[in-house]
Amino acid sequence: MVKPEKFIPAAIEEIKKAAGNEKVVVALSGGVDSSVCAALAALAIGDRLVPIYIDTGLMRKGETERIKKIFGDIRLQVVEAGDEFLAALAGITDPEEKRKAIGERFIRVFEREAKKSGATCLLQGTIYPDRIESEGGIKSHHNVGGMPLKMAFTKIIEPIRDLYKDEVREIAGALNLPPEIQHRMPFPGPGLAVRIIGEVTREKVEVIREANWIVEAEIVEQYRPWQCFAALLGLGTGVKGDNRIHGWIVAIRAVNSRDGMTADPVEIPFADLTRIGSRITAEIPRVARVVYDVTPKPPATIEYE
Ligand code: XMP
């Protein structure tokens, strides 16, 4: 287990050394990883840190407002790029292609903004399990800072690259970050797109954003899972009022895990599940069916794509 009193000064030193006199840009997502990196870098290089938040349009409900509130006083630059991401995703159904399209778009937008700031170094919140899964070729990992390969930075700084998630949370506590950041569930860089099977469209994003809001509201406080969310599986037949309809099928996923590499479904009582299902179908007219995902990882991944 990491020792914050040793790790924090060493990380600050590492960032100082790597940055020299240059400006360092960080893509802040509001998750614990990028927030810890930004906090460490703010201590190391102060005003030479340029934090940028890109609203991909694939974020959770209320997220952009929340981030603006929390990070307002470190001169956070907020970039609205939802339409650009939707356009880049049009017609793509293959999961890897989707991840690549989002990663590439992210880099374009980020590079564009970073250039304006004159930063030459990139700070990334990559953690140990991210590296293992990427190196093992399991998936293209998009860790909000994007894929550095083609980026025009002279240096990539990854101060938490050897930490597990629970260690990052411990460091967040030691750095006095707000508890809501310290205990935040992980949220994937590609956002709601990896919770939508098939093509990403505006309607699907709207439906899953609403369903995810309900799932988090009903499950987070009560069960404190490692992660929970809603996913959009596709269309199925249903009956609403007197009509047979073609409606969306929403899956509820709630898992416990240490590091995301393996996971077990949370045992949620049936009465709670049916209540959540009823809420989703009542509040989102185009949802016809709700299912609970009982699969551990492996064989299933936590996300759907
Ligand atoms: P999977 O779905 O591979 O996810 O079992 C394991 C953990 O990683 C998160 N995840 C991501 N996080 N960029 C991220 O920053 C990504 O591209 C990405 N894909 C999955 C996922 O939410 C889970 O916590």
Whether the per-residue pLDDT at 149 is higher than 90: the answer is: no
Same domain as 148, residue 27: yes
Residue 286 lies inside a defined structural domain of this protein:
yes
Residue 123 lies inside a defined structural domain of this protein:
yes
Same domain as 108, residue 177: yes
Same domain as 205, residue 171: no
Q: Is 189 in the pocket of ligand 1 (CB under 6 A)?
A: yes
Structural domain boundaries, residue 259: 201-292
**What single letter denotes the amino acid at residue 76?**
L
Residue 191 lies inside a defined structural domain of this protein:
no
The number of domains in the chain is: 2
- Rounded Cα gap, residues 125 and 128, in angstroms: 10
Same domain as 144, residue 210: no
* pLDDT mean over 30-36: 92
Which helix H or strand E contains 248, and what residues bound it? strand 243-256
Composition of the chain by helix, strand, coil, percent to 5: 45, 20, 35
- Rounded Cα gap, residues 231 and 303, in angstroms: 8
CATH code of the domain covering residue 52: 3.40.50.620
Q: Is 117 in the pocket of ligand 1 (CB under 6 A)?
A: no
Query: What's the mean per-residue pLDDT of the chain?
Result: 92
CATH code of the domain covering residue 228: 3.30.300.10
Question: Rounded to the nearest whole angstrom, what is the distance from the C-alpha of residue 303 to the centroid of ligand 1?
Answer: 6
Q: Is 260 in the pocket of ligand 1 (CB under 6 A)?
A: yes
Q: Is 190 in the pocket of ligand 1 (CB under 6 A)?
A: yes
Residue nearest to ligand 1 atom 11, measured at CA? 188
From 150, 182, 214, the end of a domain falls on 182
pLDDT digit string (tens) for 252-271? 999 999 888 999 999 999 99
Confidence of residue 297 (pLDDT cuts 50, 70, 90): very high
Of residues 168 and 138, more confidence is placed in 168
From 182, 217, 235, the end of a domain falls on 182
Residue 107 lies inside a defined structural domain of this protein:
yes
Residue 190 lies inside a defined structural domain of this protein:
no
* pLDDT mean over 3-14: 98
Q: Is 186 in the pocket of ligand 1 (CB under 6 A)?
A: yes
Atom of ligand 1 nearest to the CA of 33: 15
Candidate from 52-61, 86-95, 105-114 with smallest mean pLDDT: 105-114
Same domain as 176, residue 50: yes
Residue nearest to ligand 1 atom 12, measured at CA? 188
